[in-house]
Amino acid sequence: MNWRPRHGATQMNTEKKSFQPDVYEKFVEKSANLVFVLSENGKILKANAFANAQLGQDLQGRSFKSILVNFHNQFDLATIKESPGKSYPLNIKKPDGLPQTYHFMFEFTDRQIIAFGQFDHGELDEVQKQIIYLNEELSNLARELHKKNAQLHRLNQEKNQFLGMAAHDLRKPIGLVITYAEFLMDEAAPLLDDEQVGFLETIHRSSLFMKRLVDDFLDVSAIEAGKFELDLQPADMRHILDQSLQLNEIQAAKKGIALEVKKATHFPRMCMDGSKIEQVITNLVSNAIEHTHPKTAVTIHLQTTEDGITFSVKDQGPGIPPEEMNKLFKPFEKTSTQKIGGEKSTGLGMIITRKIIEAHFGNIWVESLLGEGTTVYFTLPLKKE
């Protein structure tokens, strides 16, 4: 079949034509590679649009070396000229300050040098691979972290369970030791010599400490096991304070310490767990007495505020060094401040105190001055019945 072009259609011109320099120019200008025309001494005479865009400025007149990151100090056009056709990985300085590797080839003419830079795709691929690898590593480490956390949580639960069981089983025999020691001190003391009475007093004192330790362990294990519950009832704060101080007064009298109590005349009835707040006050006042020098006083303030009540207890002891203040609410941590009478501390009292106050949505904090004493404050918000 004879095929003829339709009428009016242009016949293809099959005559071979050589490309004109402007066609080269067009391709060079539009190319996504860096193209520079350099003078013999390395000044940029011309840069294509891509080079200007990549380097963020008009480059004409600058030295080629100045666009390279300065670890190419050894870059030397004369040396390059001796190895024609060789490719050089060079880093250009991008406007954001980061280097970017291009593989440069140099073509030397009589009076000019053409520098042609191709983007290093291998480097980008490597970076991409590394990012993927790091992302996966991060993901695997996150898995490991969750797993270890779960293991720690399980171990902590087991520890609390063990602690609770051990403390519970210890409580009863310690109670018996205390009761019999007190019985002997009351009834049998006249039959004993001074040394034997001293032994009894040591048994009694140590047993009381053990009981306090066991009670604190039970509280801490209940708190950590999430079994710490409040029995909230309408309560009279003044009554709670009076009850607490009854116990502390005996302790203070033994050391010749006065308890100075300042309290507001009117208190709103508030919802709280009375026995736990009593435990807090007893503990804080007891601590203050233990840290106060004999023949001085512990000052207790109980005030009403718009939001609720503020309690404070101030001792006249040696104070706590500022750098040790953060130890106060950490389990088993003890400050270097010694109790005046050498009493032992479980290191758990302040933790339990804080938990009780925070469970009531209150705040607790400590202020201390070395040589002057320490004041512990807590607030309880007003919750109407």
Partner 1 sequence: MAREHLATAITESLLNLVYPFLFKKRLTSKKAIISCIANEYHQIGGRMVADILEMNGWDSYFLGANTPIDEMVEFIHEIEPDMVGLSLGIEFNLPHLIQAVKSIRENFPELDIIVGGQGFRGDQTALLKEFKKVYYISSIDELEAETWSHANEY
Q: For residues 366 and 326, what is the distance between their CA atoms, to the nearest angstrom?
A: 10
Q: Which lies closer to partner 1 via its Cβ, residue 140 or residue 336?
A: 140
Minimum Å distance from CB 303 to partner 1? 44
User: Under the phi-then-psi rule, with left for phi > 0, alpha for psi from -120 to 50, and beta for the rest, what region is 339?
Assistant: beta
Q: Which lies closer to partner 1 via its Cβ, residue 112 or residue 149?
A: 149
Q: Which lies closer to partner 1 via its Cβ, residue 137 or residue 201?
A: 137
Q: For residues 67 and 61, what is the distance between their CA atoms, to the nearest angstrom?
A: 12
Q: Which lies closer to partner 1 via its Cβ, residue 157 or residue 202?
A: 157
Does residue 290 contact residue 346 with C-beta atoms inside 8 Å?
Answer: no
Does residue 380 contact residue 309 with C-beta atoms inside 8 Å?
Answer: yes
Q: Which lies closer to partner 1 via its Cβ, residue 112 or residue 139?
A: 139
Q: Which lies closer to partner 1 via its Cβ, residue 151 or residue 326?
A: 151
Contact residues for 285 (Cβ-Cβ < 8 A; gap 6+): 244, 245, 248, 259, 298, 300, 313
Minimum Å distance from CB 156 to partner 1? 13
- Taking residue 119's Cβ as centre, other Cβ atoms within 10 Å add up to 16
The candidate with the shortest Cα–Cα distance to 352, out of 308, 266, 286, 290, is 286
Q: Which lies closer to partner 1 via its Cβ, residue 60 or residue 157?
A: 157
Across the chain, the runs of DSSP E, i.e. the strands, are 34-39, 44-47, 87-93, 99-108, 112-119, 233-235, 258-263, 270-272, 297-304, 308-314, 363-369, 373-381
Q: Which lies closer to partner 1 via its Cβ, residue 146 or residue 295?
A: 146
Handedness of CA 42, 44, 47, 52 (dihedral sign): positive
Q: Which residues bind partner 1 (CB under 8 A)?
A: 128, 132-133, 135-137, 139-140, 142-143, 146-147, 149-151, 154
- Is 103 strand, coil or helix? strand
The candidate with the shortest Cα–Cα distance to 122, out of 96, 86, 89, is 89
Minimum Å distance from CB 142 to partner 1? 5
Does residue 90 contact residue 74 with C-beta atoms inside 8 Å?
Answer: no
Alpha helices for 43-120 (secondary structure H): 49-55, 77-81
Q: Which lies closer to partner 1 via its Cβ, residue 144 or residue 385?
A: 144
The candidate with the shortest Cα–Cα distance to 310, out of 368, 357, 242, is 357
Q: How many CA atoms lie within 13 A of 139 on its CB side?
A: 6
